């Protein structure tokens, strides 16, 4: 079985192999890909909502506003060019994340407190 | 890691309802199937803007005009979410668009029919968006993460589309004789094409089995189509109209509506590109893309200039 | 019935409606998906403004007047939009340039109008100012991008300026209803807007490597119902359904 594997680690590999920019790097009209993160008014975190094409940060911001915030009030927007995002390699998930699984004392539920202080 | 192990992990995720994410290992066929399906879905949204967009300038009231613009704009947004999801699979938007223009990629053939009257806009909302919603709700559980998340976003916005369509027909059904006739005529023309949206019979569908195994698809074509018929057969009573199928009848045993056979010749003809508006739709998209080349170039050039000035 | 105030309001409504209608022609045909959404957004904002102004005008007129009767049943000569907004959308350069000229005008106008003695006009102006600020920002950036982009885009901008510049004088030449409104505090003295408008144009043009043409401006009076051939075509489509099926609900 011959599987042609193409993996894309945003930002970790050279321009011409980066996700979304593979073909025709000499194409004069290629607009880079940007990732969009939004925090809603009540929210605490910026969440990834999708991506879009833009030539610069200003355009990316406006496009993000036009596409992703039509039904929201009072949000915060982050836009990042996709090539600048470095993501963890899923094959390394074992060594990166599993050690945390058995250190359960880091979780508040590990501690059995008397009722009077259980709201803590 | 050996490929067989990778495949085991992959299938394990599928079986355990863990989403497959962009950088996970996946069989090439899985990647290709998702690219095909997601990009075709995206193309459908974009091409779908055309038959409805044609009525924006002629919308019969300011309220309807505003609603229609918002709806068509939503469709552009949906196309965008889907192109984004597609790009995570390792294909650029430009490539997918070239495939559309060359005829290599398909889009939902429902958009190859013309919108002859205002009532068509109502019928499209009720029937076409209704059919799309059935499909889309199922797809929120698809195995590929970015596709599933795009579908969740889309579903939230889609119900407004179906409601506004139904409302248009409801108003027509209570109006002048000409309006009632317009309403029935639109339903007569859009009913069968809407049923065709669910694709060929399960027995004729080449991709179905593998798609079901990989949970790209969660329900079969015929299952979805039956659910759709059952729903519409009830809803049409509310607007006092008829569905153009004299075989439509409630079957007490099956607890479903029996319905007539689709004209599969018409279906395959339109899929192959011979529908009434196939050429017109594609030409419009090609024209927009080609005529937009100088704009895209200029914007990129300007950003380059600014970068160079900063560096200097 | 305060005819001056009605006319003043209709001018504001008609400008927004006709430009909204023109911009919506890009829907499905934009140069790139993201910009298709952007121009459609602007179109929607403009139609929203138009609706607010029409609804107010309808209450002033009374009888059976509604936002729709005003938009769908008036004749060409009763429309009070300026000539600039009825021009064809042209290519992307023409569209964004016209938006820039118009948005800068609306920005200055609404900034003043939000202090109007007429509460309704003030409220509508205040509400619309946020979106107009965005329209202005978006369109000025495009003027710069295209003016200082490629040779082709630069040429197209020059052609667009050549096409549209001559209609801009109408922004600042007051009709009798505008003079009336300004003097009684419900409207704005638009002759005073000319200088700040010009300054902004100069600022953006300079960054865009474009020049203000030394051409003569033509006197146009769309605001007084004297329109170019284009409005007739626009209204034929816009009003088609209501004229073909009179007296119906939609």
- For residue A1, the model assigns a pLDDT of 31
Using a CB–CB cutoff of 8 Å, tell me whether B1 touches chain A. yes
**Which chain C residues are Cβ-neighbours of B292 within 8 angstroms?**
30-32, 92
* pLDDT tens by residue, B87-101: 989 888 888 888 888
- Complex prediction ipTM: 0.95
Q: Is the pLDDT of residue B276 over 90?
A: no
Q: How confident is the model at residue A103 (pLDDT cuts 50, 70, 90)?
A: low
In angstroms, the separation between the Cα of residue A114 and the nearest Cα of chain B is 37
* pLDDT tens by residue, B120-174: 999 999 999 999 998 888 889 999 999 999 999 898 888 889 999 999 999 999 9
Query: Which is nearest to C27 in space by CA: A95, B58, A70, B267?
Result: B58
Search chain B and give the residue with CA nearest A10. Answer: B23
Across residues C170-175, what is the average pLDDT?
95
Using a CB–CB cutoff of 8 Å, tell me whether B291 touches chain C. yes
Q: How confident is the model at residue C113 (pLDDT cuts 50, 70, 90)?
A: very high
Q: How confident is the model at residue C220 (pLDDT cuts 50, 70, 90)?
A: confident
Q: Is the pLDDT of residue C35 over 60?
A: yes
Choose the closest CB to A3 out of B23, B27, B306: B27
Cα(B291)–Cα(C91) distance, rounded to whole angstroms? 9
Q: How confident is the model at residue A117 (pLDDT cuts 50, 70, 90)?
A: low
Domain that holds residue C68: 3-244
Across residues C158-180, what is the average pLDDT?
95
**Which chain B residues are Cβ-neighbours of A71 within 8 angstroms?**
157
Using a CB–CB cutoff of 8 Å, tell me whether B186 touches chain C. no
Q: Determine, yes or no, domain membership for C227.
A: yes
What does pLDDT average to over chain A?
69
Q: Is the pLDDT of residue B62 over 90?
A: yes
B71 Cβ contact partners less than 8 Å away, ≥ 6 residues apart: B52, B125, B160, B161, B164
DSSP code for C187: S
* pLDDT tens by residue, C12-27: 999 999 999 999 999 9
Query: Which is nearest to C4 in space by CA: C180, C122, C175?
Result: C180
Q: Is the pLDDT of residue C214 over 90?
A: no
- For residue B209, the model assigns a pLDDT of 76
Q: Within 10 A of A55 (CB to CB), how many other CB atoms are there?
A: 23
* φ, ψ (nearest 5 deg) of residue A51: -140, 170
**Are C190 and C172 contacting, i.e. CB atoms less than 8 angstroms apart?**
yes
- A54 and C34 within 8 Å at the Cβ level: the answer is yes
**Are B123 and B186 contacting, i.e. CB atoms less than 8 angstroms apart?**
yes
- A7 and B23 within 8 Å at the Cβ level: the answer is yes
- For residue A30, the model assigns a pLDDT of 79
Cα(C83)–Cα(C155) distance, rounded to whole angstroms? 24
**Are C174 and C7 contacting, i.e. CB atoms less than 8 angstroms apart?**
no
Q: Is the pLDDT of residue A12 over 60?
A: no
Q: Within 10 A of B89 (CB to CB), how many other CB atoms are there?
A: 22
Cα–Cα–Cα angle for C28, C31, C33, nearest 5°? Answer: 60
Q: Within 10 A of B312 (CB to CB), how many other CB atoms are there?
A: 5
**Are B237 and B207 contacting, i.e. CB atoms less than 8 angstroms apart?**
no
- For residue A21, the model assigns a pLDDT of 33
What does pLDDT average to over chain C?
96
- C38 and A58 within 8 Å at the Cβ level: the answer is no
- For residue A14, the model assigns a pLDDT of 35
In degrees to the nearest 10, what's the CA dihedral of A70, C19, B302, B300?
60
- For residue A22, the model assigns a pLDDT of 34
Residue A37 three-state SS: strand
Most confident of B72-76, C33-37, C203-207: C203-207
Q: How far is CA B44 from CA A3, B8, B147, B213, B285, in A?
A: 30, 34, 15, 25, 12
Q: Which domains does chain A have, with CATH numbers?
A: 31-104 (3.10.20.520)
Q: How confident is the model at residue A120 (pLDDT cuts 50, 70, 90)?
A: low
- For residue A112, the model assigns a pLDDT of 67
Radius of gyration of the CA atoms of chain A, in A: 21
In angstroms, the separation between the Cα of residue B114 and the nearest Cα of chain A is 28
- C27 and B168 within 8 Å at the Cβ level: the answer is no
Is residue B240 left, alpha or beta, with left meaning phi > 0 and alpha meaning psi from -120 to 50?
left
- For residue B301, the model assigns a pLDDT of 95
Touching B (3+ Cβ pairs <8 A), the chains are: A, C
Touching C (3+ Cβ pairs <8 A), the chains are: A, B
Choose the closest CB to C34 out of A58, A67, A70: A67
* φ, ψ (nearest 5 deg) of residue B7: -70, -35
Using a CB–CB cutoff of 8 Å, tell me whether B11 touches chain C. no
- For residue A18, the model assigns a pLDDT of 32
- B118 and C241 within 8 Å at the Cβ level: the answer is yes
In angstroms, the separation between the Cα of residue C37 and the nearest Cα of chain A is 7
In angstroms, the separation between the Cα of residue C116 and the nearest Cα of chain A is 28
Residue C3 three-state SS: helix
Residue C30 three-state SS: coil
Cα(C78)–Cα(B182) distance, rounded to whole angstroms? 31
C residues 212-241 lying closer than 8 A (beta carbon) to A = none
* pLDDT tens by residue, A25-84: 446 677 999 999 998 888 888 888 888 999 999 999 999 999 888 777 568 999 999 888
In angstroms, the separation between the Cα of residue B260 and the nearest Cα of chain A is 41
Q: How confident is the model at residue A108 (pLDDT cuts 50, 70, 90)?
A: low
Most confident of A4-18, B165-179, B207-221: B165-179
Q: How confident is the model at residue A93 (pLDDT cuts 50, 70, 90)?
A: low
Using a CB–CB cutoff of 8 Å, tell me whether A70 touches chain C. yes
- For residue A102, the model assigns a pLDDT of 62
Q: Determine, yes or no, domain membership for C249.
A: no
B278 Cβ contact partners less than 8 Å away, ≥ 6 residues apart: B112, B270
Burial of C225 (0-12, 13-18, 19+ CB in 10 A): middle
Which ranges of B144-277 does DSSP label H, i.e. alpha helix? 145-173, 177-196, 208-213, 221-238, 264-269
Per-residue burial over B34-57, b = 16 or more CB atoms within 10 Å of its CB, e = otherwise: bbbbbbbbbbbbbbbbbbbbbbbb
Search chain B and give the residue with CA nearest A19. Answer: B90
Query: Which is nearest to C208 in space by CA: B298, B243, B291, A4?
Result: B298
Cα(A115)–Cα(A105) distance, rounded to whole angstroms? 19
- C34 and A63 within 8 Å at the Cβ level: the answer is yes
C residues 165-204 lying closer than 8 A (beta carbon) to B = none
Across residues B221-232, what is the average pLDDT?
94
- A23 and B150 within 8 Å at the Cβ level: the answer is no
- C250 and B64 within 8 Å at the Cβ level: the answer is yes
Using a CB–CB cutoff of 8 Å, tell me whether A15 touches chain B. no
- For residue B210, the model assigns a pLDDT of 79
Q: Give the least confident one: B131-140, B175-184, C114-123, C168-177.
A: B131-140
- For residue A27, the model assigns a pLDDT of 65
- For residue B138, the model assigns a pLDDT of 86
In angstroms, the separation between the Cα of residue C153 and the nearest Cα of chain A is 13
How many structural domains are present in chain C?
1
- B23 and A27 within 8 Å at the Cβ level: the answer is no
Which two tokens mark B136? Answer: 């889309």
Q: How confident is the model at residue A13 (pLDDT cuts 50, 70, 90)?
A: very low
- C146 and B59 within 8 Å at the Cβ level: the answer is no
Choose the closest CB to A19 out of B31, B88, B157: B88
Per-residue burial over C235-246, b = 16 or more CB atoms within 10 Å of its CB, e = otherwise: beebbbbbeebe
Q: Give the least confident one: A109-118, B39-48, C16-25.
A: A109-118
The terminus-to-terminus CA distance of chain B in angstroms comes to: 47
What does pLDDT average to over chain B?
90
Across residues B245-262, what is the average pLDDT?
95
Using a CB–CB cutoff of 8 Å, tell me whether A9 touches chain C. no
**Which chain B residues are Cβ-neighbours of A4 within 8 angstroms?**
28
**Are B236 and B243 contacting, i.e. CB atoms less than 8 angstroms apart?**
yes
The residue among B17 and C199 whose pLDDT is bigger is: C199
Across residues B263-289, what is the average pLDDT?
84
C33 Cβ contact partners less than 8 Å away, ≥ 6 residues apart: A53, B46, B76, B79, B80, B83
The residue among A18 and C142 whose pLDDT is bigger is: C142
**Are B202 and B208 contacting, i.e. CB atoms less than 8 angstroms apart?**
yes
Cα(B220)–Cα(B199) distance, rounded to whole angstroms? 10
Q: Determine, yes or no, domain membership for C250.
A: no
- For residue C131, the model assigns a pLDDT of 94
- For residue B189, the model assigns a pLDDT of 95
Q: Is the pLDDT of residue A17 over 60?
A: no
**Which chain C residues are Cβ-neighbours of A52 within 8 angstroms?**
34
Pairing outcome for strands A47-53 and A33-39: antiparallel
CATH code assigned at C105: 1.20.1260.10
Cα(B183)–Cα(B118) distance, rounded to whole angstroms? 9
Is residue A45 left, alpha or beta, with left meaning phi > 0 and alpha meaning psi from -120 to 50?
beta
**Which chain A residues are Cβ-neighbours of C38 within 8 angstroms?**
62-63, 66
C residues 143-162 lying closer than 8 A (beta carbon) to B = 144-146, 148-150, 152-153, 156
Q: Is the pLDDT of residue B4 over 90?
A: no
Q: Which of A56, A62, A77 to mutate: most C Cβ within 10 Å?
A: A62
**Which chain B residues are Cβ-neighbours of A30 within 8 angstroms?**
94, 300
Partners of residue A50 on adjacent β-strands? A36
Search chain C and give the residue with CA nearest B67. Answer: C44
Interface B-C, measured as beta-carbon pairs within 8 A, has a size of 136
Choose the closest CB to B58 out of C50, C67, C240: C240
Q: Is the pLDDT of residue A113 over 80?
A: no
DSSP code for B261: P
């Amino acid at each position: 079985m011959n599987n042609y594997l193409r993996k894309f680690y945003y930002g970790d590999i050279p321009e011409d192999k980066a996700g979304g920019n593979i073909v025709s790097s000499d194409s004069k009209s290629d607009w880079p890909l940007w990732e969009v993160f939004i925090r809603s008014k009540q929210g605490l975190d910026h969440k990834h909502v999708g991506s879009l094409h833009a030539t610069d940060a200003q355009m990316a911001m406006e496009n993000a506003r036009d596409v992703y915030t039509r039904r929201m009030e009072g949000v915060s927007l982050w836009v990042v060019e996709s090539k600048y995002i470095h993501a963890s390699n899923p094959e390394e998930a074992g060594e990166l994340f599993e050690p945390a699984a058995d250190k359960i004392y880091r979780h508040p539920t590990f501690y059995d407190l008397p009722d009077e202080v259980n709201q803590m | 890691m050996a490929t067989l192990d990778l495949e085991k992990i992959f299938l394990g995720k599928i079986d355990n309802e863990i989403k497959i994410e962009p950088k996970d290992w996946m069989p090439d066929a899985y990647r290709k199937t998702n690219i095909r399906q997601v990009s075709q879905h995206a193309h459908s949204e974009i091409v779908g803007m055309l038959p409805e967009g044609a009525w924006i300038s002629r919308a019969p009231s300011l309220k309807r005009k505003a609603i229609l613009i918002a709806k068509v704009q939503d469709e552009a947004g949906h196309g965008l979410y889907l192109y984004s999801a597609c790009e995570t699979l390792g294909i650029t938007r430009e490539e997918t668009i070239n495939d559309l223009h060359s005829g290599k990629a398909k889009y939902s053939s429902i958009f190859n029919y013309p919108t002859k009257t205002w009532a068509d806009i109502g019928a499209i909302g009720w029937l076409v968006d209704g059919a799309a919603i059935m499909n889309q709700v199922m797809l929120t559980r698809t195995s590929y993460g970015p596709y599933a998340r795009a579908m969740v976003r889309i579903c939230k916005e889609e119900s407004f589309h179906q409601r506004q369509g139904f409302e248009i027909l409801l108003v027509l059904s209570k109006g002048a004789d000409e309006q009632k006739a317009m309403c029935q005529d639109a339903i007569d023309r859009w009913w069968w094409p809407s049923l065709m949206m669910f694709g060929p019979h399960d027995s004729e569908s080449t991709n179905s089995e593998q798609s079901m195994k990989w949970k790209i698809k969660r329900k079969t074509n015929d299952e979805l189509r039956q659910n759709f018929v059952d729903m519409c057969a009830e809803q049409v009573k509310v607007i006092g109209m008829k569905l153009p199928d004299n075989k439509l009848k409630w079957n007490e045993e099956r607890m479903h509506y029996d319905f007539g056979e689709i004209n599969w010749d018409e279906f395959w003809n339109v899929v192959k590109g011979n529908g009434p508006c196939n050429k017109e739709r594609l030409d419009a998209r090609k024209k927009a893309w080609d005529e937009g080349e100088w704009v895209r170039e200029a914007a990129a050039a300007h950003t380059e200039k600014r970068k160079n000035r900063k560096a200097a | 019935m305060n005819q001056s105030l009605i006319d003043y309001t209709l001018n504001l409504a008609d400008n927004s409606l006709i430009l909204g209608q023109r911009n919506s022609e890009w829907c499905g045909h934009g140069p790139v998906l993201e910009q298709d959404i952007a121009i459609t957004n602007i179109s929607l904002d403009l139609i929203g403004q138009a609706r607010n102004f029409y609804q107010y005008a309808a209450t002033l007129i009374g009888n059976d007047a509604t936002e729709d009767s005003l938009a769908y049943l008036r004749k060409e000569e009763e429309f009070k939009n300026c000539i600039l907004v009825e021009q064809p959308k042209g290519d992307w350069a023409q569209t964004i340039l016209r938006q820039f000229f118009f948005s800068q005008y609306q920005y200055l106008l609404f900034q003043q109008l939000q202090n109007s003695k007429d509460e309704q006009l003030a409220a509508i102006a205040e509400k619309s100012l946020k979106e107009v600020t965005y329209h202005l920002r978006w369109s000025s950036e495009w003027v710069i991008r295209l003016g200082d982009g490629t040779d082709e885009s630069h040429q197209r901008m020059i052609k667009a300026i050549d096409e549209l510049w001559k209609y801009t004088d109408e922004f600042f030449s007051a009709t009798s209803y505008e003079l009336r409104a300004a003097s009684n505090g419900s409207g704005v003295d638009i002759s005073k807007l000319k200088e700040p408008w010009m300054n902004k144009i100069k600022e953006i043009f300079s960054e865009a490597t474009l020049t203000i043409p030394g051409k003569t401006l033509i006197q146009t009076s769309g605001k007084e119902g004297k329109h170019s051939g284009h409005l007739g075509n626009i209204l034929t489509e816009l009003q088609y359904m209501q004229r073909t099926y009179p007296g119906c609900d939609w």
